[in-house]
């Protein structure tokens, strides 16, 4: 890889969500066959009967800009790895770069592929996919999990956005851990919420009005601004809470990102607030 190619890939990766270490997948038919089929690489394998995939990167937002970014990342990964089963899963809020189609996350093929993905060593000597996760293909229904007072459920919050600060992944106690953290924060006078997704539970603070806007996220080598769709809010309360809760934590640990010798902490995430009866994948609400 040339120095310029590495710079382009690094810039693209800096704009996407890095992922926690565990999630499962469910069952049911895929939806959105038109765009889903058109975006799938012709040699990426069959999605017939598949219920889940392995997500390598989540890119905030939908639309052409996010799809173009996802395709650029997919192409670069394919050049580096020669993996032929890479594909893109689009949605309104999140565009995913994925690998493989599996009938169950517990199948030998799925587990073997995930191990291979996580252990892959890139040109920079690091493991860029060490936090890759299983995730549902479109069209899955959430399991209903009850833990914590109903009034603290994020779906009851006003506005259309909140700040995700903590994620819990242990299938045995993740829901109770999130509810416990919300109780602790509310005891300190902080407006906190929980949301129990299909495989992870999150803790959120505040509520805001937000929308997707085209914003500059960097500059090209020639100094031209790089524009992309991003979910943003101009609520002053968001800035105050972001300052108080700047980091994104998984099971109590701050998520640290490393790019060669550079190290950074994953920031807490502004995410859309889901509503009762709405089908939402974990990644769409920051989990």
Rounded to a whole number, what is the distance in angstroms from the first to the last CA of the chain?
32
Cβ atoms < 10 Å from Cβ of 89: 26
Total structural domains within the chain:
2
Q: Quote the strand ranges of 117-241, DSSP E.
A: 133-136, 161-168, 192-196, 201-208, 210-219, 225-233
Q: State the maximum Cα–Cα separation within the chain, in Å, rounded to a whole number.
A: 54
**Within a domain: residue 145?**
no
pTM assigned to the model: 0.55
The Cα–Cα gap between 246 and 230 comes to 18
DSSP per-residue string spanning 178-191: HHHHHHHHHHTT--
**Within a domain: residue 64?**
yes
Q: With beta carbons less than 8 A apart as the criterion, state whether 114 and 54 touch.
A: yes
- From 110, 136, 162, the end of a domain falls on 136
- Burial code of 115-143, b = ≥16 C-beta within 10 A, e = fewer? ebbbebeeeeeeebbebbbbbbbbbbebe
Cβ atoms < 10 Å from Cβ of 183: 14
**Within a domain: residue 169?**
yes
**Within a domain: residue 229?**
yes
Query: 266: which DSSP letter?
Result: P
How confident is the model over 101-151, as pLDDT tens digits?
A: 998 877 889 889 999 999 999 888 888 898 888 887 876 544 567 788 999
Same domain as 126, residue 93:
yes
The Cα–Cα gap between 176 and 148 comes to 7
- What average pLDDT does the structure give for the chain? 80
Residue % of the chain over a pLDDT of 70: 80
Find the range with the poorest average confidence among 135-144, 152-161, 173-182: 135-144
Same domain as 103, residue 54:
yes
Q: Quote the strand ranges of the chain, DSSP E.
A: 52-60, 86-89, 94-102, 133-136, 161-168, 192-196, 201-208, 210-219, 225-233, 249-250, 253-254, 256-259, 262-265, 269-272
The Cα–Cα gap between 67 and 240 comes to 32
The domain of 175 spans 150-285
How confident is the model over 32-80, as pLDDT tens digits?
A: 333 333 333 333 445 777 888 899 988 877 778 888 999 999 999 999 9
What's the per-residue H, E or C state across 221-251? Answer: CCCCEEEEEEEEECCHHHHHHHHHCCECEEC
**Within a domain: residue 142?**
no
Same domain as 171, residue 120:
no
Instruction: Choose between 148 and 177: higher pLDDT.
Output: 177
- From 72, 106, 136, the end of a domain falls on 136
65's enclosing H/E stretch is helix 63-81
Q: Which long-range contacts (CB under 8 A, 24 or more apart) does 112-119 make?
A: 113/54, 114/54, 117/54, 117/56
- From 81, 106, 136, the end of a domain falls on 136
Rg of the Cα atoms in the chain: 19
**Within a domain: residue 141?**
no
How confident is the model over 86-101, as pLDDT tens digits?
A: 999 887 778 899 999 9
Same domain as 128, residue 75:
yes
């Amino acid at each position: 890889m040339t120095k310029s190619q590495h710079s382009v890939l690094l810039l693209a990766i800096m704009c996407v969500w890095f992922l926690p270490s565990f999630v499962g997948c469910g069952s049911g038919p895929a939806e959105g066959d038109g765009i889903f089929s058109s975006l799938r690489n012709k040699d990426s394998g069959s999605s017939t009967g598949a219920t889940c995939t392995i997500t390598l990167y989540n890119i905030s937002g939908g639309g052409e800009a996010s799809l173009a970014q996802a395709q650029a990342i997919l192409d670069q990964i394919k050049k580096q790895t020669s993996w032929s089963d890479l594909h893109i899963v689009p949605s309104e809020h999140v565009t995913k770069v994925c690998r493989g189609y599996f009938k169950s996350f517990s199948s030998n093929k799925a587990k073997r592929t995930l191990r291979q993905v996580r252990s892959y060593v890139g040109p920079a000597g690091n493991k860029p996919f060490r936090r890759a996760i299983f995730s549902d293909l479109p069209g899955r229904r959430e399991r209903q999990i009850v833990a914590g007072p109903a009034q603290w459920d994020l779906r009851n919050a006003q506005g259309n956005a909140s700040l995700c600060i903590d994620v819990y992944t242990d299938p045995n106690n993740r829901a109770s851990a999130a509810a416990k953290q919300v109780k602790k924060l509310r005891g300190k006078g902080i407006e906190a919420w929980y949301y129990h997704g299909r495989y992870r539970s999150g803790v959120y603070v505040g509520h805001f009005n937000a929308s997707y806007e085209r914003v500059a996220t960097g500059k090209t080598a020639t100094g031209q601004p790089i524009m992309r769709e991003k979910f943003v809010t101009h609520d002053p309360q968001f800035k105050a809470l972001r300052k108080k809760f700047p980091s994104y934590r998984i099971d109590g640990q701050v998520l640290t990102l490393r790019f060669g010798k550079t190290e950074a902490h994953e920031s807490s995430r502004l995410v859309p607030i889901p509503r009762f009866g709405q089908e939402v994948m974990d990644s769409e609400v920051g989990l």
